[in-house]
Amino acid sequence: MILPDLKTRIADLDTADIARHLDDKGWAVVPRLLDDAQCQALKADYGSDGLYRSTVHMQRHGFGRGEYRYFRYPLPDPVATLRGAFYPLLAGIANDWWAAMGRTTLFPADHDSFLAQCALGGQSRPTPLILRYGAGDYNCLHQDLYGALHFPFQVAILLSRPDEDFSGGEFVMTEQRPRMQSRPHVVPLGQGDAVIFAVDEAPRQGTRGTYRVKLRHGVSEIRHGERFTLGVIFHDAMWDMADRVGFEPTVSLHPRRFSRPLP
């Protein structure tokens, strides 16, 4: 089922404004994308075992503390609508970023074609997920890379109310910069807000051309209550379990400077 209102809302978003925020910070917020009822329904479905292909206890893998569940195909709504509607909006920005970083592959305009590319490379397990944290839980800085192929953006939607359902539990990102100290970001989110953010690398303009920064995201400790998030990742996964990348390299990023290709 496609949710026409949600689909139209996403299609009507100001792509240029989102691109500016992503270029500037590596993330952009869409306020109140899901309403209370949609957030409640997603949270209530956390216990519906049949919707999920696997459940991950983060502590067992050293990913932090808390739990998440990967949806199985076919994705339920609004997850399917969100994934299908955000992809075309972001594919153009993704192609601009890839070109700025000197990469030649192009992202197709529709999500089904991109998923077909993932499947050809052995990545066919669905990656959208719901995360649940209680008091004392947190999510270590990581990247949701599940194979050789990845789409450069993902979306997370906060399903709980800050200060009412939970306190603490802020969505954080670090931006690792070549030969510079890392820059922290704390993204302010209310219930139903969506944050679009960079999965891995982002291009930045320097005085000597474009350079790359590496982004990781996570969640600070929940002080009280319960916090749920819906995560929408556009590439499918090669692995069966919760593989994700989070290790800090022990050496600084190789600078990899290059210039924007000529038009």
Residues in the site for Fe ion, rule: CB under 5 A?
Answer: 144
Other C-beta atoms within 10 Å of 164: how many?
9
When CB distances are held under 5 to 8 angstroms depending on the partner's kind, the choice from ligand AKG, Fe ion, none that residue 39 binds is none
Task: Pick one of 196, 219, 237, 242: the residue that binds ligand AKG (CB under 6 A).
Answer: 219
Angstrom distance (rounded) from CA 69 to CA 78: 16
How many residues lie near ligand AKG (CB under 6 A)?
9
Angstrom distance (rounded) from CA 216 to CA 27: 11
DSSP lists the bridge partners of residue 136 as: none
Look up residue 48 and give its amino acid.
S
Distance of closest approach, residue 172 Cβ to ligand AKG, in angstroms: 9
User: Would you say 157 and 34 are in contact if contact means Cβ atoms under 8 Å apart?
Assistant: yes
Residues 31-70 that bind ligand AKG (CB under 6 A): none
> How many residues make up the chain in this entry?
263
Our finding on whether 231 is near ligand AKG (CB under 6 A) is: yes
Look up residue 77 and give its amino acid.
D
Q: Which is nearer to ligand AKG, 75 or 99 (CB)?
A: 75
Nearest residue to ligand AKG, scored by beta-carbon proximity = 231
Q: What is the DSSP letter of 186?
A: E
Q: Which is nearer to Fe ion, 88 or 218 (CB)?
A: 218
Q: Which is nearer to Fe ion, 151 or 211 (CB)?
A: 151
CA dihedral 229, 67, 214, 114 (to 10 degrees): -70
Angstrom distance (rounded) from CA 21 to CA 233: 19
Residues 115-144 that bind ligand AKG (CB under 6 A): 131, 139, 144
Residues 152-191 that bind ligand AKG (CB under 6 A): 156, 171
Q: Which is nearer to ligand AKG, 85 or 232 (CB)?
A: 232
Distance of closest approach, residue 171 Cβ to ligand AKG, in angstroms: 5
Site string for ligand AKG, 190-209 (x = CB under 6 A): --------------------
Distance of closest approach, residue 122 Cβ to Fe ion, in angstroms: 21
Angstrom distance (rounded) from CA 69 to CA 8: 28
Angstrom distance (rounded) from CA 134 to CA 146: 26
Distance of closest approach, residue 262 Cβ to Fe ion, in angstroms: 36
3-state DSSP assignment of residue 15:
helix
Quickly tell me which residue has 């050789």 as its tokens. 148
* Interface with ligand AKG (CB under 6 A): 131, 139, 144, 156, 171, 217, 219, 229, 231
